[in-house]
Chains A and B, each alone.
Chain A
């Protein structure tokens, strides 16, 4: 019976593999562990899971040597916006090797980023479908951004450049608008993004009356690692949030799920600040318009009122002339009537006087004397009875034309 040393056995395995599998192969797998080495290599562990995702159907080590890694890493990141990480589905071009000491492993030659992007897109689509099914996808968009959104809760990392950009942009707005900003710190990269951002959202929700809207921002950078924003739980929280949520998480590619459910999505923190400033600018413009309209309306009203008064005052002289004519006519009538009245009165009076005069004239002794009567006086008194006289009385008889003295004999 032939016996082999372990080295001889491993050597045969090695040469069999080399002989039987000399080519390179494109293999689909999921990364279950990744660790860059100090020498610049990258060590991966690849797995294939069953349909439940809980147990492994296959497993293999894979190495990306320094020279390859230096090229693949920036290429992959530029294409996908992601770094290679655990849980990611990858399509790798590999050669199969066997080392007498280290055993079976794959050596990565190339990577196809489109496969990973396709997988991410598929996951994003699944999450969006679920959110639609759950009836929450459009909820945040239904909220209205107030006219003056100047109390802003910011969810970001305190050290992120994006947070500074956002503040500077707001504070430096050329119109002089005032903004009140409070940071709710959260991790914006790595595996804890979902948990961290949700807890920041909860902190804002506890004080929702203090704010007009929420902004989720982070700086760009070479690698955006957007897949952490393709999270059902995070999206669910954003969609249900009681204030409008604006995302500015720094990317140019497809929208993340968080972007889709947010009220408004912009590309960068600076753009988020611009969006808010423009909103306030619209409001300020409306106020200016109203102020101008108010002035115009009052001015117009005063003008038309002036025209009315002017017209009235132009009418006044003719009105006055008319009035004067009427008054004069009235006076005339009154005058004529008074004059007639006086005249009639006078006539009546004259007539009366004449009657009185006639009556009086008839009683005048002179008139009676003229008619042939005479008046007899004795001792200065008028003699009315013959018996009042006696012999020797001296009488004065008055005639119309004179008197004579006589003596009773």
Chain B
């Protein structure tokens, strides 16, 4: 998944809860998904991605 997509999905979930478009049973699933999305984004921001490092260090 790309960072953009994760943010978009997160935005969608938050808005739906804010707008009361989710019932209580769905909220706990949504909360779980949101937590995973936030972790994904934070990792992208603050953690070194060895995969990207490897790609960039490769010679042309």
Contacts and interface: CB of A to CB of B under 8 A. Distances in A.
- Asked if chains A and B come from one complex, the reply is yes
Interface of A: 146-148, 150-151, 176-178, 180-182, 203, 206-207, 210, 280, 283-284, 286-287, 290-291, 293-294, 297-298, 300-301, 305
- What 5 pairs across the A-B complex have the smallest Cβ distances? A297-B17, A148-B3, A297-B18, A182-B56, A293-B14
A93 B12 CA distance: 70
28 contacts: A146-B4, A147-B4, A150-B44, A151-B52, A176-B46, A177-B45, A178-B45, A180-B52, A181-B56, A182-B57, A210-B56, A283-B3, A283-B7, A284-B45, A286-B7, A287-B41, A287-B45, A290-B7, A290-B11, A294-B10, A294-B13, A294-B14, A294-B31, A297-B18, A298-B17, A298-B27, A301-B22, A301-B24
Contact of A290 (B14, B55, B56): B14
Nearest to B10: A290
Given A151-B56, A286-B7, A178 B47 contact: yes
Contacts, number: 72
Nearest to B3: A148
B1 to A, nearest CB: 12
A294 B32 CA distance: 11
Interface in B21-37: 22, 24, 27, 31, 34
Q: Which of A146, A147, A297 has the most CB of B within 10 A?
A: A297
Nearest to A212: B3
Contacts of B57: 182
A283 B60 contact: no
B26 to A, nearest CB: 11
Q: Give chain A's interface secondary structure class.
A: helix
Nearest to A153: B56
Point out which of B11, B14, B60 has the most chain A C-beta atoms below 10 A from its C-beta.
B14
Grouping DSSP codes into helix (H, G, I), strand (E, B) and loop, the B interface class, with mixed when no group exceeds half, is helix
A183 to B, nearest CB: 10
A284 B41 CA distance: 9
Given A286-B7, A290-B7, A301-B27, A177 B52 contact: no
B46 to A, nearest CB: 5
B52 to A, nearest CB: 5
B49 A178 contact: yes
Nearest to B60: A203
A168 B60 CA distance: 24
B27 to A, nearest CB: 6
A293 B49 contact: no
A148 B45 contact: yes
A287 B38 contact: yes
B47 to A, nearest CB: 7
B45 A280 contact: yes
A283 B3 CA distance: 10
Contacts of B42: 287
B56 A283 contact: no
A236 to B, nearest CB: 23
A284 B11 CA distance: 14
Contacts of B52: 151, 180
B8 to A, nearest CB: 9
Contacts of A178: 45-49
A280 B10 CA distance: 17
A147 B56 CA distance: 20
A317 to B, nearest CB: 25
Contacts of A293: 14, 18
A180 B4 CA distance: 18
Given A148-B3, A290-B7, A297-B17, A206 B60 contact: yes
